Structure 1
Amino acid sequence: MNLTVTVLEIVSPVFLLAAIGFVWVKAGFEYRIEFVTRLAMTMAVPCLVFTSLMKTEVDLSTLGTLTMAAFASYMAVGVVGAVLLAVFGLGQRTYLAPFIFGNTGNLGLPLTLFAFGQEGLERGVVLLATTSILSFTVGIWLVAGRGSFFKIIKEPMIGATLLGALFLWRGWETPTFLTNTLDLIGQMAIPLMLITLGVAVARLTPGRVGVAILLSLLKLGVCVAVAWGIGRAFALDDISFGVLVLQIATPVAVTAYLLAEKFGADSSSVAGFVVVSTLISVAGLPLLLTLLL
C-alpha cells in the first residue's frame, strides 16, 4: 500500500500537468507552443542542466559510466527495433527513430526528479543530453538519410552540458547571485515541458492506431528489458540504474513527429505512435516504478 501511494505521488504531478496542457487547448485557449518550446529549450532547460551538473556531488566517473550505458542501450534498442520492424514489414524510415528515442525531456526529467530526487535529476540531465546528441545525428540520419552535427553545436542544452561538466570537473561555482538567478530560470523548465507535452498531444492527429498500439507495447517492453540488462552489466548504482531504465523506457517524443513532418516520412503514423505510446505510459511507467523503487 505504501509503495502504491509513493508511485502515485511521483506520477500524479507529471500527468496532471500534462493534462492541464491538454485540457487548456481542448477548451479553446491560446497556447503558442513554438514560443514556449523555444523559451524552455534555449533558456530554462540549459539553466537547469548547467546548475544541476555544477552543484552535483556525483563524481564524473559515475556520470561517465551512465553515459556509456545509455549509448549501449540505445544501440541495442535500435538493433532489436530494426529486426522487429522488418518482421512486421513496417517502414524503418518512419518508425525506427521513434522506436529508439524516448521523451527524456518533457516526461523523463520530471519523473527522475520526483522518483529519485535531486540525484536522479542530475543523472537525468545526462541521459537527456545523450538522447539529444543521438537524436540530432543518428535520429535525423534514420529519417532523412543524413545527420546534422552542426545542429548539435547550436543546441544551447549541449553547450550547457559541456559547461556544467567543466565546472564539475574543475570544482568551480558561479557567484551566488548568478547561481540563484539560473536556479530560478531552471525551475521553469519542468512545468513548461509537461504542460507543453499535453498541448502537443492534444493537437496531434493520430494515424494507424492499431500499428501504434503494437509498437508502443513492444517499445516499452524492449526498452525496459534492454536498459535493465545493460544497467546490470555496467554495475550501475541504484539511482543510476533506475534513471537509465526509466529514461530509456519513456514514450515517443513529439520531436519525432516534427522530424517526420520536416523530412517527408509518414508523419501521421508517427503522430499515432506519439499519442498511443504516451497514453500507454500513463499505466506502464507507474508499473515500472513499482519495480525500481
Structure 2
Amino acid sequence: MVKLFKVDPKLAPTFQNSIVLMNSGNFGLPVSQLVFAGNPLGISVQVIVLMFQNLITYTYGVIISASTRSTGFWRNLSELFKTPIIYALVLGLLFYQMPWELPTFIQTPMQQVSNGFIALALVVLGAQIAYPTLKQFSFLFFVSIFARLIAAPLIGLGIIWVMGLDGTVAQGLLIASSFPMSRNSALFALEYDNYPDYAAQAVLVSTIASCFTVTFFIYLSQMLF
C-alpha cells in the first residue's frame, strides 16, 4: 500500500503504524469490561490481544519508526533496548517462574495502582487527543482511518470464520480488532520526527469515529456469534 500510494519515506512508518497499532489498553480494556461484564473469558481475550499488541508496538513499531534515521538493521534494532517494556517483560517472566512473593509493603501499593489503571488510562487518552488541531487532511489520511476502523475488523472477521471460532472468543477477537489507532503511533512519530502532526490528527479522528464503528462491530459480533 505504501508503494501503491508512493508515500513519503518519512510518512510511511507513521502510516503503517497507524494501521497496525491499535489502542488495546486505554480504550480496549474499558470497552471489553463494559461489553463482557460478568464474563471473564471475554475480558481475558482482550488482555491477551493487549499483550500481543504491546509486543508488536515495542518491536515492529519501534524498528519501523527508527528506520527513517538509519537503514542499518543493527542500528534500528538497538532502538529496542532503549524501551523499558523489554526489561519489564524479562523481569516479569523471571518473577513468574520463581517462587517469590513481594513484601506486603510493596505489593499493596502496586495492587492499588493496578486497580486505578482503567481510570488513569482514560485520563491519559483524553489528554492525548485534547491538543491536535484538525487541518491538512489528505486522501492518505482517510485511507489510514478506513483501514484501521473498517478494513482491519473485516479482515479479522474473515480470519475468525476461517479458523471456525465461535461464541465469546469470536466476539472478543472481532471487537478487539476494531479499536482505534494507538497513541503510541503518535508518540513514535514525535520521537523520530515522522510527521507527528499527521499521527496526532489520525489518533484524534480515529478515536472520535470509533464511537460509531466500534459500536457497530460490537453489535455485529453479538448478531453473528
Give TM-score scaled by structure 1 length: 0.61
Q: Provide the C-alpha distance between the structure 1 equivalents of 2:91 and 2:213, rounded to a whole number of angstroms.
A: 33
Deviations 1:188-220 (A, max 9, x none): 111111121111100223453344334212322
Q: Provide the C-alpha distance between the structure 1 equivalents of 2:215 and 2:6, rounded to a whole number of angstroms.
A: 31
**Matches for 1:203-214 after TM superposition, within 5 Å:** 203-211=131-139, 212-214=141-143
The alpha-carbon distance between structure 1 residues 95 and 155, as it changes in their structure 2 partners (threshold 3 A), is farther
**Aligned residue for 1:218?**
147
Within the candidate set 74, 83, 87, 1:154 is matched to 87
Q: Provide the C-alpha distance between the structure 2 equivalents of 1:180 and 1:275, rounded to a whole number of angstroms.
A: 36
Check the 8 A contact 1:98/1:270 in 2, yes or no: yes
Within the candidate set 62, 77, 81, 1:140 is matched to 62
The alpha-carbon distance between structure 1 residues 182 and 163, as it changes in their structure 2 partners (threshold 3 A), is farther
Give TM-score scaled by structure 2 length: 0.77
Deviations 1:142-178 (A, max 9, x none): 211224443342246x755x479769xx9x9999999
Deviations 1:234-286 (A, max 9, x none): 33342222222222221111111110111121111111111111111011111
Q: Runs in 1 of length 4+ with deviation above 6 angstroms?
A: 172-181
Q: How many residues align?
A: 205
AA matched with 2:66: A
Structure 1 residue runs without a partner (length 5+): 1-82
Q: How far has the Cα of 1:108 moved from its partner?
A: 0.8
Check the 8 A contact 1:120/1:243 in 2, yes or no: yes
**Aligned residue for 1:63?**
none
**Aligned residue for 1:241?**
170
1:127 aligns with 2:49: yes
1:191 aligns with 2:119: yes
Q: How far has the Cα of 1:89 moved from its partner?
A: 3.0
Q: Provide the C-alpha distance between the structure 1 equivalents of 2:135 and 2:170, rounded to a whole number of angstroms.
A: 34
The alpha-carbon distance between structure 1 residues 86 and 219, as it changes in their structure 2 partners (threshold 3 A), is farther
AA matched with 1:135: T
Q: Provide the C-alpha distance between the structure 2 equivalents of 1:289 and 1:205, rounded to a whole number of angstroms.
A: 29
Give 3-state SS (helix, strand or coil) of 1:203's partner: coil
Give 3-state SS (helix, strand or coil) of 1:204's partner: coil
Check the 8 A contact 1:206/1:271 in 2, yes or no: no
Q: Provide the C-alpha distance between the structure 2 equivalents of 1:164 and 1:110, rounded to a whole number of angstroms.
A: 27
Give 3-state SS (helix, strand or coil) of 2:27's partner: helix
Q: How far has the Cα of 1:86 moved from its partner?
A: 3.0
1:256 aligns with 2:176: no
**Aligned residue for 2:23?**
103
**Aligned residue for 2:72?**
none
Q: Provide the C-alpha distance between the structure 1 equivalents of 2:53 and 2:95, rounded to a whole number of angstroms.
A: 17
1:292 aligns with 2:212: no
Deviations 1:108-129 (A, max 9, x none): 1111111123322222121111
AA matched with 1:282: C
Structure 2 residue runs without a partner (length 5+): 68-75
1:115 aligns with 2:35: yes
Q: Provide the C-alpha distance between the structure 1 equivalents of 2:164 and 2:104, rounded to a whole number of angstroms.
A: 36
**Aligned residue for 1:200?**
128
**Aligned residue for 1:227?**
156
AA matched with 2:42: G
